[in-house]
Structure 1
Amino acid sequence: MTASRVLVHVLGARPNFVKAAPVIRALAGRGVEQVVVHTGQHYDRAMSEVFFDELGLPEPDVNLGVGSGSHAAQTAALLTGLEDEFIRRSPALVIVYGDVNSTISAALVAAKLHIPVAHVEAGLRSFDMTMPEEVNRRLTDQLSDLCLVTSPEAVGHLAREGVDVDRVHLVGNPMIDTLLANLDKFDTERVRAEHRLPERYVLATMHRPANVDDPDTAAALVGHLHGVADLADVVIPVHPRGRATLLAAGLDDHPRVHVLEPLGYIDFIAAVRGAAAVVTDSGGLQEETTILGVPCLTVRPNTERPITITHGTNRLVTFEELVPAARKALAVDAGGTGGSSPMNDSTPPLWDGQAGPRIADVIMESLVG
């Protein structure tokens, strides 16, 4: 390890903030000096600042403000900005989260500066190299000294890729730590009233490039979402990525489609908790619905989180399967009660709200070793 004892967390997008909060809290309880670098990959308040406020995260020590752009332009800005920060701070460890461009950029810069890297959520695989996230997570794992794994199948993926077993640690899912710690705040009735949501609804989120970047694909998706809206109201907080394309395709033309601005963490999960079903292409939402007991229809051909299918409520669907699958989910939830109580006998192993402390233990041991 380097002489410095400071740990640097690199956060870039809203899923990173949710995963980092319990890790930062657990390390703070051990008296560790920590620095939070916000890359600004997500930069508007609803996608960024509000998460720091709601999750009790410390204000970022620096915001690189890289903003949006092509993968090349964004990654180039990240490499330059992060290199300056790491040289200036000379951290003992860089901690990265998930699979966004900020994650691979930080891992690459740290590796070239001979700074150890810990990757929270290592080993997840969709086996679809057309997904930018798959490229990012595979390369990040190869560069990481600590691969902190959320689910058992990820251990096998890393072993098959030649990652030394001593680098791999099954710790559980810190995103679930955050969910369970905030259960009392997810007030569905308040969110219904504040955002004028119907009593019974399907909540949708769509942002994957494969679904929203191409106008023809987006138009086909919108047509099937309208088919879901024929069955029940659809509430869709629209991510900045794809917003223009989806609206141009007529997303809000259906009278039972309710288009919202992005929501903060508390309001969003409260809305998820009260939904009759969720339609998404998100990764993290597959995990959150698993714990909340809300039927989840993932509009993708694959998932890097298969444990949400074997232990949860998730199902992969094509565009053509979406409406029939929604009809079935809505029939099961005919009472309009939304999700069931969190946690059950089939909850994935170590998704118990204690991943943050386990991650902190692994990190502290690595600093001593």
Structure 2
Amino acid sequence: MSIFTIVAGARPNFMKIAPIIHAFQEKQKAGVDVHFRLVHTGQHYDKKMSGDFFDQLNIPEPDANLGGGGGTQAEQTAAIMIAFEKELMENRPDLVIVVGDVTSTLACSIAAKKLQIDVAHVEGGIRSGDLSMPEEINRMVTDSITDHFFTTSEIANTNLRKAGVSEEKIHFVGNTMIDTLKAQMSNFKSPEGPVFESLKAGNYFVMTMHRPANVDQEHSLKAMIDAILEGTQGLPILFPVHPRTAKNLQNLGIQAPNLHMCEPLGYLEFNYLVKNAKGVITDSGGITEETSVMNIPCITLRDNTERAETIHLGTNELVGTDPKKLKPYLDKIMKGEWKQYQGIPLWDGKTAERIVDILLNSY
């Protein structure tokens, strides 16, 4: 029997693990002797940030919740490592599967390797080159001890080869986030409320901002919001607000009749808004993947990206954090002159099947 432990902790992880779980369940139905445990580290413990995803993405309740949320990054890392070590000693698997680049990814890969348990990193090899981002440190440390790298792009493969990773450890499989997107697209649903009900498809923007470079400096946050309000020419802007950002916006007294701030949304509701938007303005990496596949214009308010394929082949443009550079990009969206999705290799909805086949051939 093959035994695997799948780790999830923060909001983006759930979209990435859901298709892997479903692929394992299909193997079990077909009579394959495989067992998996789902461990939720508790890194995100807010209902909207994690609980909704179990329902919407049809993920079983976790076998364990480590309760590792809260505190500084170091405190959170330590809490998750201590709890996950105990979990592994009580339920030792053949391999631990970590996804993405959050604190849980780093903490659980270290705990596993110190117990001599193999680690597979789904989304291995992606790099922004920006060590001021905690996620970049998480990726680099995780990839330095990983046994199997499941990659989303040829760019990630190249990064791993340059780091000296041997070819047999690199598995170019595609993107499980896109598996979830394709599987769930027919289930997307409008959020409830008068603001959402009044929207016209293709006639509003969706915005997300959470990175410290954009939201922690009040002056630059105000300048960016002002530039966005000007460039979108009065069209509605839907802005699901991260709690930290909400506080900063409140301090600044930022408001406009077409700027609609709301609570974080569930996966199905948020992507309904994205799929029907005129464009998306974000500083998130994952959203640039989804907008590309849905062929929705995407502006990224960052100076670098770990997902360069979304620029080369997708609908994403890296604009930076200077509000003065925003207008020409918004003008292009308003005129309907944005580039089209070219297709990214293996982003076809079958990535999880490839991952599970490789794992079952190895363990």
Tell me, in whole angstroms, the C-alpha distance in 2 between the residues paired with 1:107 and 1:297: 33
Which residue of the partner structure matches residue 24 of structure 1? 21
Q: Does the 8 Å CA contact 2:218/2:252 hold for their aligned counterparts?
A: yes
Tell me, in whole angstroms, the C-alpha distance in 2 between the residues paired with 1:74 and 1:226: 37
Give the share of equivalent positions with the same residue, in percent. 44
* Contiguous gaps of at least 5 residues in structure 1: none
Q: 3, 9, 29: which is aligned to 1:6? A: 3
Q: 331, 336, 339: which is aligned to 1:327? A: 331
Tell me, in whole angstroms, the C-alpha distance in 2 between the residues paired with 1:66 and 1:169: 30
Which residue of the partner structure matches residue 275 of structure 1? 277
Which residue of the partner structure matches residue 126 of structure 2? 124
Corresponding pairs, count: 354
What SS does the aligned partner of 2:97 have? strand
Task: Report the AA paired with residue 323 of structure 1.
Answer: K
Check if 1:302 corresponds to 2:304.
yes
Which residue of the partner structure matches residue 256 of structure 1? 258
Which residue of the partner structure matches residue 359 of structure 1? 355
CA deviations over 1:282-324 (Å, ceiling 9, x no partner): 1110000001010000000111111101111000113222233
Q: Does the 8 Å CA contact 2:2/2:360 hold for their aligned counterparts?
A: no
Which residue of the partner structure matches residue 70 of structure 2? 68
Q: TM-score, normalised by structure 1?
A: 0.91
Tell me, in whole angstroms, the C-alpha distance in 1 between the residues paired with 2:65 and 2:249: 30
**Cα 1:173/1:17, change in 2 over 3 Å:** same
Deviation at 1:193, TM superposition (A): 5.9
Task: Report the AA paired with residue 209 of structure 2.
Answer: M
Q: 158, 168, 171: which is aligned to 2:170? A: 168
Q: Does the 8 Å CA contact 1:11/1:38 hold for their aligned counterparts?
A: yes
Deviation at 1:194, TM superposition (A): 7.5
Q: How does 1:79-94 map to 2 (within 5 A)?
A: 79-94=81-96
Task: Report the AA paired with residue 18 of structure 1.
Answer: M
Which residue of the partner structure matches residue 195 of structure 1? 196
Check if 1:101 corresponds to 2:86.
no
Deviation at 1:146, TM superposition (A): 0.5
Tell me, in whole angstroms, the C-alpha distance in 2 between the residues paired with 1:298 and 1:84: 40
Tell me, in whole angstroms, the C-alpha distance in 2 between the residues paired with 1:228 and 1:102: 38
CA deviations over 1:81-103 (Å, ceiling 9, x no partner): 11111111111111001000010
Which residue of the partner structure matches residue 223 of structure 1? 226
What SS does the aligned partner of 1:300 have? coil
Deviation at 1:222, TM superposition (A): 2.7
Which residue of the partner structure matches residue 31 of structure 2? none
Q: Return 272-281 or 211-220, whichever deviates more.
A: 211-220
What SS does the aligned partner of 1:320 have? helix
* Contiguous gaps of at least 5 residues in structure 2: 29-33
Task: Report the AA paired with residue 242 of structure 2.
Answer: H
Tell me, in whole angstroms, the C-alpha distance in 2 between the residues paired with 1:166 and 1:197: 53
CA deviations over 1:35-58 (Å, ceiling 9, x no partner): 111111111111111111000101
Q: Does the 8 Å CA contact 2:232/2:330 hold for their aligned counterparts?
A: no
CA deviations over 1:160-183 (Å, ceiling 9, x no partner): 011121111000111111111112
The list of structure 1 runs, each at least 4 consecutive aligned residues, that deviate by more than 4 angstroms after superposition, is: 190-194
**Cα 1:268/1:197, change in 2 over 3 Å:** farther
Which residue of the partner structure matches residue 209 of structure 2? 206
Q: Return 56-65 or 288-297, whichever deviates more.
A: 56-65
Q: Does the 8 Å CA contact 1:203/1:236 hold for their aligned counterparts?
A: yes
Check if 1:152 corresponds to 2:149.
no
What SS does the aligned partner of 2:5 have? strand
Tell me, in whole angstroms, the C-alpha distance in 2 between the residues paired with 1:219 and 1:68: 28
